[in-house]
């Protein structure tokens, strides 16, 4: 399917306003598996309205498009059925309030053509700001793999984002396993990502998957939880940045195992499906303070 590069690059995304409540903040945390141990007071900080705190990865749900992208005429040349999330980068500039209103300002950085047999890659940047005072809360950059749009005649590079992070070759310093529920994707989608790939078996089959897969941004949030649990004492303000590569689909109901290395303020990480022994997140890097 031919991709209309100029029309997409010239598209002006409208600002997305999102008002969220404490219930939304709690629902996001529950979607990531927080609260699995009701006696864990550290996890209660994110699922109980008393002294509630927002997880540092929550900005990723505050920029979801209010109009589905496949309904935007200027983006109609994208084959959305063959679209998968490739990478995600988050920089946390200021703590996210437990409730409030935000604006998301989106722009496309570039679209790279990897060839007709490989697809194309689109890079977007989103800035999440506090509507009340225009404080920049987070910057997000995502890399979306358009499996059905390669060969449109574009350039293959350069990549407009930080380079892929290389993991240490030593044994990990820390590991952590998180069992997920079969309905994890059904819970997480209520935070705003209603892509049918994560709930509709027929749609998943059309997208070349055996069954619905978990949202990449859900495993991204789980990676953030792994870092703040193992290295930050569950203090959400200590996570300053997180980037991961989505290397394979993860299926709800599986157990995700995180392997992490610490080098000062830098945490390297990856994660696999325990049941299938398949790496689902790779080349991960987090920055922490304190």
* Residue among 216, 221, 224, 284 flagged as catalytic: 216
**233 catalytic, yes or no?**
no
Q: Which of 197, 222, 199 minimizes the C-alpha distance to 147?
A: 197
The structure tokens 């496309």 sit at: 108
Q: Tell me, yes or no, if 198 is annotated catalytic.
A: yes
Enter the tokens of residue 254. 């599986």
Closest CA relative to residue 20, chosen from 96, 120, 100: 100
- Residue 109 and residue 118: Cα distance in Å, rounded? 20
Within 3-113, residue ranges assigned H as helices are: 5-10, 22-31, 41-47
The label of the residue with tokens 């789980």 reads 222
Strands 239-246 and 278-288: antiparallel
Of the residues 198, 228, 256, 288, only one is catalytic, namely 198
* DSSP helix/strand/coil, 231: helix
The answer to whether 130 and 62 have CB atoms below 8 angstroms apart is no
165 is a catalytic site residue: no
Q: Among 63, 142, 193, 215, which one carries the catalytic annotation?
A: 193
Instruction: Tell me phi and psi for residue 211, to 5 degrees.
Output: -160, 170
In the residue annotation, 213 being an active-site residue is answered as yes
Burial of 40 from C-beta contacts in 10 A (0-12 / 13-18 / 19+) = middle
Task: Point out which residues pair with 178 in neighbouring strands.
Answer: 256
Q: What distance in Å separates the CA atoms of residue 91 and residue 190, rounded to the nearest whole number?
A: 24
- From 213, 228, 267, 288, the catalytic residue: 213
Contact 228, 234 (CB under 8 A): yes
Count of beta carbons in the 10 Å neighbourhood of residue 236: 20
Residue numbers annotated as active site:
193, 198, 213, 216
């Amino acid at each position: 399917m031919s991709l209309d590069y100029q029309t997409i690059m010239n598209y002006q995304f409208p600002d997305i306003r999102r008002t969220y409540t404490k219930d939304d903040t709690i629902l996001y945390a529950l979607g990531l598996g927080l609260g699995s141990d009701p006696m864990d007071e550290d996890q209660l900080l994110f699922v109980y309205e008393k002294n509630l705190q927002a997880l540092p990865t929550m900005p990723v749900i505050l920029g979801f498009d209010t109009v589905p992208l496949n309904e935007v005429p200027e983006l109609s040349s994208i084959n959305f059925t063959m679209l998968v999330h490739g990478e995600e980068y988050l920089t946390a500039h200021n703590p996210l309030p437990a409730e409030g209103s935000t604006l998301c300002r989106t722009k496309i950085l570039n679209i790279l053509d990897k060839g007709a047999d490989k697809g194309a890659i689109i890079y977007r940047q989103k800035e999440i700001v506090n509507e009340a005072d225009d404080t920049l809360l987070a910057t997000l950059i995502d890399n979306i793999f358009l499996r059905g749009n390669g060969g449109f005649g574009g350039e293959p590079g350069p990549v407009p984002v930080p380079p892929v992070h290389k993991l240490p070759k030593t044994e990990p310093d820390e590991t952590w396993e998180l069992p997920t529920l079969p309905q994890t994707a059904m819970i997480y989608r209520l935070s705003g990502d209603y892509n049918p790939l994560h709930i509709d078996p027929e749609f998943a089959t059309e997208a070349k998957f055996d069954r619905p897969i978990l949202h990449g941004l859900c495993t991204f949030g789980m990676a953030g939880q792994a870092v703040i649990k193992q290295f930050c004492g569950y203090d959400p303000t200590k996570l300053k940045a997180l980037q991961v590569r989505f290397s394979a689909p993860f299926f709800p109901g599986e157990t995700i195992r995180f392997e992490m290395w610490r080098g000062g303020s830098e945490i390297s990480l990856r994660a696999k499906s325990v049941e299938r022994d398949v790496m689902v997140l790779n080349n991960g890097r987090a920055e922490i303070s304190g």
